[in-house]
Structure 1
Amino acid sequence: MKKLLYIIPFMILLGSCKKFLETDPQQQVDQSEAITNAGSAATAASGMFNVLASNDYYGSNFQSLAYLSAGDITWTGSQAAPSEITKHLTSATNSNVGAAWTAIYKTISSANYIIANVPSVNDPLFSTALRNQYVGEAYFVRALAYFDLARGWGGAQLVLNPTLTSADNKNIPRSSQADTYAQVLKDLNAAEPLVPTAVNRNRVSQKTVWALKARLYLYTQQWALAEQFATQVISSADYTLVKPYSAFFANSAAATSESVFELAYTVSNTNNHSNWWLPPALGGRREWAPSDILVGLLNNSLVGGGRSTLIAQTAAPGNLWYGKLYYRTPLGTDPAYVIRIAELYFIRSEARARQGNLSTAVTDLNTVRDRAGLGAATASTLDALLLALENERRVEFPFEADRWFNLVRTDRAQTVLSLPDKHLYLFPIPYSETVVDPNLAGGNANPGY
């Protein structure tokens, strides 16, 4: 029990004792004691990325909350939790929501241990550059985790120190979404001077930090800063829109110049996306499937262009359409795409448009359209350009959990998806958390659930 406390944040610890004891720990090591030299620090850093990439976070589940909420992905299975999400009837007891929340806080916990312990490691073989890298990466990962909590749940308890005992990190109030985003920026500012300048698409460099800053500034409507940081990434020779569109994922491609940040998987640390997207004939369950509308958009040469390669159809008599972004052999070894350079063009396009620079905004939009083999867009007003960007994101990132958060961010979700109420813009705080922590209960919980 003592060792479990070291890796699971306080909000999880307060759940049912029986459930807690029956849960197998991901790591049965006292991390505060384990990070004692360069080797154990490296292990801790790798472990942190593994938690970020886990199936309940970027390995499938967190992203599925967005897939299933956005209307373009249908659920073909029988489980109640994903069916609720698809129908916008999500409850506070929804197991998918609870699992994603828990995974994000586990990721934060891993980052907290590195931030707290790596700086004091006394090892003559531990270079300053490597020490800084691990701490900077932990700040970035924590920033990403809090960013996801903010855009998904609207605000979070900001746990910034390791949880070593059940008495640690008690009675932390829930912060507002704005304060949570402020913590994201604080962590990104801390990460920026520490991480390497050299690009590593599976780890964190300064340009990875800039990319997430650009996304953050877009969400917080700081248009000039969103443009500035998007430009810093786009201007780098390290990133290009690869052609054709499928070149960033087809033929087992990985870590191409398209990727700003992607998570790598192996046969011993798998990505569960292919299990949900592929049909049984290809080893999957196809319980996530592109809607008929999405299939039509992707197959329309004037809309999807080369992005039709994202989908395929089974043979007769089934003739079932499925997503083929995740497909590799062995199954589960596909990357998970967190940030691609195409998104930075869209960020800069919108940021420029919001500042009245429509001509350069259209140029950025058309850069992405050209890569997809499409002709130039001709939007000449702000509203037309914003709608064009919305539509382009829809077919550029249909299997990358972009559409839902983008529609919520722009306050378009209720109109586009015919939602009955805007409380659905936020996922519910898991019921298991609200019953044990007054800081997440009552008026502190998300309304409407």
Structure 2
Amino acid sequence: MKNRIFPNAVFLSVTTWLIISGCTKILDKQPVTDLITNTGATSISALDAENSLAGVYDAETGYAYGLEFNVLDRITNGDAKADNCYAGGDNPNNISIDLFTFNAANDNIGRDWKDAFGIVATANITLAQVAACTDPALTPTRKNQILGEVRFMRAYTYFDLVRLFGRVPIMLEPVDQTNSEALIASTLIPQSSVDSVYEAILADLWFARANVQADNTPPNKMVITKGAVNSILAKVYASMPTPNWDSVAYYCDQVIPNYSLVPNFNSLWDNSAKNNKEAIWEFNYVGYSKVGNWIPSQFLTGGWKKFNTPTNDLVNVYRAEGDSVRLKASITFVDYGWSDAYWKDPLHYPVLSKYPDPNDGTNDFYAIRLADILLLRAEAYNSKADIGNAAMMVNKVRARVGLPATTAANANDMALAIEKERRLELAFEGHRWFDLQRTGRALTVMNAFTNGAGQNLNYHVQDYQIIYPVPQNQLDNNLLLTQNPGY
């Protein structure tokens, strides 16, 4: 595949990413700021290679620059755009995403494009630096591990981009800054097809799979291992325009034997259980004093109305299922005096509570955990009408929270049972919208969405709104970009 360079609009918005922060030992320490000013593809030291890798981790998890894309916006895009959350708060950009009234001028959508391509820019610089490193202290094995981890994060970011925006520019090299003409020539490029983006994602993931560490080797689950790569490969194959369920099954089967569900669902959200046996890839947070992690404070505590309010519909589904364990772990009803058009009782207002430490921001975020992969494996079984094995996977997840076995007896019922189980298990982890998107259920579900009184909310979601518009400022700066149809 021909390598491509990132577009001028992106370059202009992420120039600050050309200084990379990091730490000296990503395996067992939290990030500590350390600047690397050499951003070209010249030979760097082994220590600088490790620091560059840490800088990509910082960018991917939102540490380095206080990005909102990777947690707050992950929940907005995955849950508030779906039927798990109302926008909450008073941010008009969030509200328009919730109500499907967004357009190309939406600042949050523009921020997500910019932040994602900023991560890609950081990854591209690091790949060039590390590939050029001739320091004998960087062994060939370690060099390929670093390259694999960075290529995984680039692929993971592109996976977000292609699901959010559809066609996007493919950027696989740093900007050519040798002269102004080279800069212009290398930055003004059009979008590539969705299929081409997925091909680029798969190429990065296959390289990563061959080179990153084995499952459970590093104690810190933020470090990318084969389990994380296999998990994302499974999710990618399930999300492509034509899903490949044989590949989904294969990669899920590479993951499942190496992890296990923690016995108590509640303990997943306990800070004493970080890096547990269920976690496959976990974003570690370190608190305000280190890097300004303020994400949990966006969902909990009084003072001001929080973002991403759980919906009446989600609460009703938990209750109808008798799922008190996951309801109580995921949603807390508070008496902060808030009310709105959806929740009118100011003494009984729901807040998202899977991230329960608003003071120091020490909660981790599960980017991937085993329950997700078990339920994806159930979908793969169900795609072959293997109802028995699909039920076995679903029942493993249900049994942990004391629910009886699923009663789904045919493929259609099982598909809906898996969809519901994923919703209840993975609420507020950024998956719901993408599940509806990849299964073709988004329009049906969202246009049937009701309030607490059972009245239709009349979203009138249109097919073109399954993906976001290209941000207007990107179109203005790169005339080779074209707007997504419908906008």
| Structures share fold, TM-score greater than 0.5 | yes
Is structure 2 residue 484 aligned with structure 1 residue 421?
Answer: no
Is structure 2 residue 486 aligned with structure 1 residue 448?
Answer: yes
Corresponding residue for residue 255 of structure 1: 275
Partner SS state of residue 435, structure 1: helix
CA displacement 1:115-173 (0-9 Å, x = unmatched): 22212212122222221111000110111011111111112110100114233633323
- Paired amino acid for 2:296: S
Is structure 2 residue 300 aligned with structure 1 residue 278?
Answer: yes
Corresponding residue for residue 192 of structure 2: 175
CA displacement 1:157-191 (0-9 Å, x = unmatched): 10100114233633323111121111111111111
Separation of aligned partners in 2, 1:139 and 1:245: 32
Separation of aligned partners in 2, 1:262 and 1:145: 15
Corresponding residue for residue 237 of structure 2: 217
- CA-CA distance at 1:305 after TM superposition: 4.0
Separation of aligned partners in 2, 1:369 and 1:35: 52
The normalised TM-score by structure 1 is 0.90
Separation of aligned partners in 2, 1:329 and 1:403: 24
Q: Is the 8 A contact 1:210 1:232 kept in 2?
A: yes
- CA-CA distance at 1:329 after TM superposition: 5.8
Corresponding residue for residue 434 of structure 2: 405
Find the partner of 2:138 among 126, 151, 156. Answer: 126
Find the partner of 1:71 among 79, 83, 86. Answer: 83
The normalised TM-score by structure 2 is 0.83
Corresponding residue for residue 341 of structure 2: none
Corresponding residue for residue 4 of structure 1: none
Is structure 2 residue 291 aligned with structure 1 residue 293?
Answer: no
Q: Is the 8 A contact 1:234 1:341 kept in 2?
A: yes
Corresponding residue for residue 230 of structure 1: 252
Separation of aligned partners in 2, 1:413 and 1:89: 16
- CA-CA distance at 1:428 after TM superposition: 1.1
- Paired amino acid for 2:144: N
Partner SS state of residue 180, structure 1: helix
Q: Is the 8 A contact 1:271 1:334 kept in 2?
A: no
Corresponding residue for residue 430 of structure 1: 471
CA displacement 1:275-321 (0-9 Å, x = unmatched): 2211326xx75222111222233345624544421111224763321
- CA-CA distance at 1:52 after TM superposition: 0.8
Do the aligned partners of residues 188 and 382 (structure 1) sit closer, same or farther apart at CA in structure 2, a change above 3 Å counting? same
- CA-CA distance at 1:380 after TM superposition: 1.1
- In the alignment, structure 1 segments of 5+ residues that lack a partner are 1-6
Do the aligned partners of residues 262 and 10 (structure 1) sit closer, same or farther apart at CA in structure 2, a change above 3 Å counting? farther
Deviating more after overlay: 155-164 vs 70-79: 70-79
Residues 156-175 of structure 1 aligned to structure 2 (within 5 Å) = 156-165=168-177, 166-167=183-184, 169-175=186-192
Is structure 2 residue 208 aligned with structure 1 residue 191?
Answer: yes
- Paired amino acid for 2:232: L
Partner SS state of residue 477, structure 2: coil
Separation of aligned partners in 2, 1:325 and 1:25: 34
Q: Is the 8 A contact 2:83 2:313 kept in 1?
A: no
Separation of aligned partners in 1, 2:336 and 2:364: 30
Separation of aligned partners in 2, 1:286 and 1:447: 33
Q: Is the 8 A contact 2:7 2:188 kept in 1?
A: no
Separation of aligned partners in 2, 1:294 and 1:91: 27
Residues 249-398 of structure 1 aligned to structure 2 (within 5 Å) = 249-267=269-287, 268-280=290-302, 285-300=305-320, 302-303=322-323, 305-315=325-335, 318-328=347-357, 330-398=359-427
Separation of aligned partners in 2, 1:243 and 1:300: 23
Q: CA RMSD in A?
A: 2.3
Q: Is the 8 A contact 2:6 2:170 kept in 1?
A: no
- Paired amino acid for 2:192: S
Separation of aligned partners in 2, 1:271 and 1:427: 27
Do the aligned partners of residues 375 and 167 (structure 1) sit closer, same or farther apart at CA in structure 2, a change above 3 Å counting? same
Residues 78-117 of structure 1 aligned to structure 2 (within 5 Å) = 78-117=90-129
Work out the number of aligned pairs and report it. 431
- CA-CA distance at 1:333 after TM superposition: 2.3
